[in-house]
Amino acid sequence: MSNPTRSSYLPSQLSAGDFPIVMDTGLIAAGQNLTRGAVLGQITASHEYVLCKAAAADGSQAPCAILDQDADTTDGAKSTPIRLTGQVLGSQLTFGEGLTLAAAKAALRPLCLFIR
Protein backbone atom coordinates (compact mmCIF):
# COMPACT_ATOMS: atom_id res chain seq x y z
CA MET A 1 0.00 0.00 0.00
CA SER A 2 1.47 3.33 -1.04
CA ASN A 3 1.54 6.41 1.11
CA PRO A 4 -1.01 9.11 0.28
CA THR A 5 0.26 12.17 -1.51
CA ARG A 6 -0.42 15.47 0.16
CA SER A 7 -0.82 18.58 -1.95
CA SER A 8 -2.03 22.11 -1.32
CA TYR A 9 -4.28 24.28 -3.39
CA LEU A 10 -3.31 27.94 -3.41
CA PRO A 11 -5.83 30.01 -5.37
CA SER A 12 -4.80 33.05 -7.34
CA GLN A 13 -5.93 35.88 -5.09
CA LEU A 14 -6.54 38.92 -7.31
CA SER A 15 -9.58 40.39 -5.54
CA ALA A 16 -8.91 42.53 -2.48
CA GLY A 17 -12.29 43.60 -1.19
CA ASP A 18 -16.01 43.72 -1.68
CA PHE A 19 -16.35 46.60 -4.15
CA PRO A 20 -18.56 45.35 -7.02
CA ILE A 21 -16.63 43.66 -9.82
CA VAL A 22 -17.74 44.47 -13.35
CA MET A 23 -16.36 42.15 -16.00
CA ASP A 24 -16.39 42.36 -19.76
CA THR A 25 -14.71 40.59 -22.63
CA GLY A 26 -11.79 42.37 -24.22
CA LEU A 27 -9.86 41.55 -27.39
CA ILE A 28 -6.23 40.99 -26.43
CA ALA A 29 -3.87 41.95 -29.27
CA ALA A 30 -1.80 39.24 -30.95
CA GLY A 31 1.79 38.50 -29.98
CA GLN A 32 1.48 38.55 -26.19
CA ASN A 33 1.60 36.02 -23.38
CA LEU A 34 -0.05 37.72 -20.40
CA THR A 35 -0.89 36.41 -16.96
CA ARG A 36 -3.92 37.15 -14.85
CA GLY A 37 -3.48 40.54 -13.20
CA ALA A 38 -1.81 42.26 -16.15
CA VAL A 39 -2.62 45.98 -16.26
CA LEU A 40 -3.99 46.69 -19.71
CA GLY A 41 -4.17 49.71 -21.98
CA GLN A 42 -6.31 49.94 -25.09
CA ILE A 43 -4.94 50.78 -28.54
CA THR A 44 -7.09 53.66 -29.82
CA ALA A 45 -7.17 52.64 -33.50
CA SER A 46 -7.94 48.92 -33.11
CA HIS A 47 -9.63 48.85 -29.66
CA GLU A 48 -7.42 45.87 -28.75
CA TYR A 49 -5.87 45.56 -25.30
CA VAL A 50 -2.14 45.26 -24.65
CA LEU A 51 0.08 45.30 -21.58
CA CYS A 52 0.14 48.97 -20.60
CA LYS A 53 3.55 50.60 -21.15
CA ALA A 54 4.23 54.17 -20.06
CA ALA A 55 6.11 55.14 -23.25
CA ALA A 56 3.47 53.89 -25.71
CA ALA A 57 1.96 56.50 -28.04
CA ASP A 58 -1.02 54.58 -29.44
CA GLY A 59 -3.46 55.13 -26.56
CA SER A 60 -2.37 52.04 -24.65
CA GLN A 61 -0.19 54.10 -22.30
CA ALA A 62 -3.28 54.80 -20.16
CA PRO A 63 -4.23 51.91 -17.86
CA CYS A 64 -7.92 51.06 -18.27
CA ALA A 65 -8.53 47.41 -17.30
CA ILE A 66 -7.05 44.38 -15.58
CA LEU A 67 -6.78 40.97 -17.21
CA ASP A 68 -8.80 38.40 -15.27
CA GLN A 69 -7.51 35.24 -16.95
CA ASP A 70 -4.18 34.19 -18.47
CA ALA A 71 -4.07 34.97 -22.19
CA ASP A 72 -1.64 33.57 -24.75
CA THR A 73 -2.14 35.40 -28.03
CA THR A 74 1.06 34.33 -29.77
CA ASP A 75 -1.08 32.70 -32.47
CA GLY A 76 -3.54 35.58 -32.85
CA ALA A 77 -5.82 37.99 -31.01
CA LYS A 78 -8.14 36.42 -28.45
CA SER A 79 -11.19 37.51 -26.45
CA THR A 80 -10.56 37.22 -22.72
CA PRO A 81 -12.33 38.35 -19.53
CA ILE A 82 -11.18 41.71 -18.18
CA ARG A 83 -12.06 43.60 -15.00
CA LEU A 84 -13.46 47.07 -15.40
CA THR A 85 -14.20 47.76 -11.72
CA GLY A 86 -13.33 46.25 -8.36
CA GLN A 87 -10.58 46.06 -5.77
CA VAL A 88 -7.37 44.19 -6.58
CA LEU A 89 -4.13 43.39 -4.79
CA GLY A 90 -1.21 45.42 -6.08
CA SER A 91 1.13 42.53 -5.34
CA GLN A 92 -0.71 40.38 -7.91
CA LEU A 93 -0.48 42.87 -10.79
CA THR A 94 1.88 42.83 -13.76
CA PHE A 95 3.03 46.17 -15.16
CA GLY A 96 4.45 47.02 -18.54
CA GLU A 97 7.71 48.84 -19.04
CA GLY A 98 7.83 52.19 -17.22
CA LEU A 99 4.47 51.80 -15.46
CA THR A 100 4.65 51.91 -11.67
CA LEU A 101 2.22 50.78 -9.01
CA ALA A 102 1.63 54.40 -7.98
CA ALA A 103 0.91 55.52 -11.56
CA ALA A 104 -1.45 52.61 -12.18
CA LYS A 105 -3.24 53.25 -8.90
CA ALA A 106 -3.79 56.93 -9.78
CA ALA A 107 -4.95 56.17 -13.34
CA LEU A 108 -7.33 53.35 -12.43
CA ARG A 109 -8.97 54.98 -9.40
CA PRO A 110 -11.31 57.26 -11.45
CA LEU A 111 -12.43 54.12 -13.30
CA CYS A 112 -13.43 52.45 -9.98
CA LEU A 113 -10.55 49.97 -10.16
CA PHE A 114 -8.96 50.24 -6.74
CA ILE A 115 -5.49 48.83 -6.02
CA ARG A 116 -4.67 47.85 -2.46
Domains of the chain: 22-115 (2.40.300.10)
User: What are the pLDDT digits (tens) for 61-73?
Assistant: 999 999 999 999 9
Alpha helices (H) along the chain: 101-108
Confidence check: pLDDT of 9 > 80: no
Other C-beta atoms lying within 10 Å of the C-beta of residue 35: 15
pLDDT above 90 covers a percentage of the chain that reads 85
Q: What length does the chain have?
A: 116
User: What sign results for the dihedral spanned by CA atoms 16, 102, 63, 70?
Assistant: negative
Residues 11, 14, 15, 21, Cα dihedral to 10°: -120
- Output the average pLDDT for the chain: 93
CA distance 1 to 57: 63
Pairing assessment for the beta strands 78-88 and 22-28 based on DSSP bridges: antiparallel
Which pTM does this prediction carry? 0.87
